[in-house]
Amino acid sequence: MKHDLIAVLDFGAQYAMLIARRVRECNVYCEIFPHNVTVEELKKRKVKGLILSGGPASVYEKNAPKLDLKIWKSGIPILGICYGTQLMAKDLGGTVKPGKKREYGRTPLIVDDETSIFAGLPKQITCWMSHGDSVAKLPKDFKLLAHTRNTPIAAIGDPAKKLYGVQFHPEVVHTEKGTEIIKNFVYVVCGCRPTWTTKSFAEASIKEIKATVGKEKILCALSGGVDSSTVAALVHKAVGKQLTCMFIDQGFMRKNEAKKIVEVFTRSFKINLVHIDAAQRFYDKLSGVTDPEEKRHRIGNDFIRVFEEEAKKLGKMPFLAQGTLYPDVIESAVPGLTSTTAVRIKTHHNVGGLPKDIKFTLVEPLKKLFKDEVRALGRELGVPEEIISRQPFPGPGLAIRIIGEVTPERVKILQAVDDIVVSEVKKAGLYKELWQSFAVLLPIRTVGVMGDKRTYLNTVAIRAVTSTDAMTADWAKLPYDLLEKFSSRIINEVPEVNRVVYDISSKPPATIEWE
């Protein structure tokens, strides 16, 4: 079945991915496109609706991102959000001016027109604002749909042309009825059908993998996490015995992790699994390296080299499957894979960290999915719950949770600390509630007193966050008694540590991982 497509045009918004997620939650397929995509390309893809994202620029700036002007007359329904609304107003004859007062955060919104995108909503809702500029004059044939105390024109629309704009952000959870607004646009205005489901995605992916791989053999990079495990299950459904999974222990796994992964996959899957111990090779590769990006590049590069070398021993193996996700692609800002306005946050080892002369043809069936979508897909494919419910673990492993040089000794310290953190979070019944909870070994020592003696030992930070997609995250307000258990057990059981701190930074401005 051919699914309806909604396109999000990215003008540099931190919430562009979130808009796509919200549309997909309506069971309608959605993709991110660069803001300068042509109307011809959109029509070629048979896009049924456009959502213009927000962005940091002002529409009246000289180099502000623009839209192909032919799109306004294309007949494709359009919903502008924040910057997208201002661009709509400016291009179609309205006026945009800097606001007298910047509006940021939760704001009461008064609905003036309870039809179209506001159909079925209360007269007043709380919305999330984040803007300095505002629409000052409506374009011809547009009417006012909603306002706030500080923004007289907070939502606009030309129902005849199916053009709508909202100054607030319906995609964030802080906006009441935001999902209903998106549903009204997607279902009613665009006429999309809710056919994009986990089951339909699995069926389409299996067909695509079969067509791509043919009768050749394929190797899967298996880490034991949700993403690679789901990929393994998906590819196995598609090509069966043509698949070989390879688990490379790079030495940066959690305590006893390698043994557990081999046990789980031997028990749960009838998949050919090859276990490679390459720890010393990776330690040598990272000797003296302290820069986070350099770590990621070296690990990503050597991962592929090990796969290439080991694959030769297995015969002809032209394809490599891996669990690249949409957030990995976006944060790595790889040219050709992301919008022209994307900024690199960090290089994910399986995206930007890959060598240019890679000998495999990559198969990445999850690269347009978010983590929660992958979990749902994994359940659909029968992946064990003990894997599905696992918190995300970075491909470079503990190497990017050790700030500074990575050595076997420092890894051993962090493994011991991490094991305590994970076990105590599980005992507290919070493991599934938290997106991630882990420890970070810092490159500093501090003075302490233990047994009436002065100590000068390592400091570790505990990081715990809540999130739904890893694009944004809040630091978790863990109970004090749990924090106390962390500190007490770590300092008493890990002799190399004498101080524990808790990270209370959200994303943005911080990232979830420290490197």
Please report the beta strands in 53-94, taking only residues with DSSP state E, as ranges in sequence order. Answer: 78-81
Separation of alpha carbons 277 and 296, rounded Å: 19
Distance of CA 210 to the CA centre of its chain: 27
Residue with tokens 């500080």, as numbered in its chain: 150
* Tokens at 93, concatenated: 């004859």
- Cite the active site residues: 82, 169, 171
Separation of alpha carbons 99 and 151, rounded Å: 8
Separation of alpha carbons 423 and 10, rounded Å: 41
Pairing of the two strands 5-10 and 47-52 = parallel
Going by C-alpha positions, the residue among 296, 471, 285 that lies closest to residue 370 is 471
Separation of alpha carbons 213 and 238, rounded Å: 9
Distance of CA 231 to the CA centre of its chain: 17
Separation of alpha carbons 315 and 189, rounded Å: 54
* Tokens at 22, concatenated: 């919200």
* Tokens at 216, concatenated: 């050749």
Going by C-alpha positions, the residue among 206, 217, 194 that lies closest to residue 381 is 206
Q: Which residues make Cβ contacts (< 8 Å) with residue 53, sequence separation at least 6?
A: 8, 9, 10, 11, 12, 13, 15, 16, 19, 35, 81, 82, 83, 84
Give the burial class of 256: count Cβ atoms within 10 A of its Cβ; 0-12 exposed, 13-18 middle, 19 or more buried. Answer: exposed
Separation of alpha carbons 359 and 267, rounded Å: 31
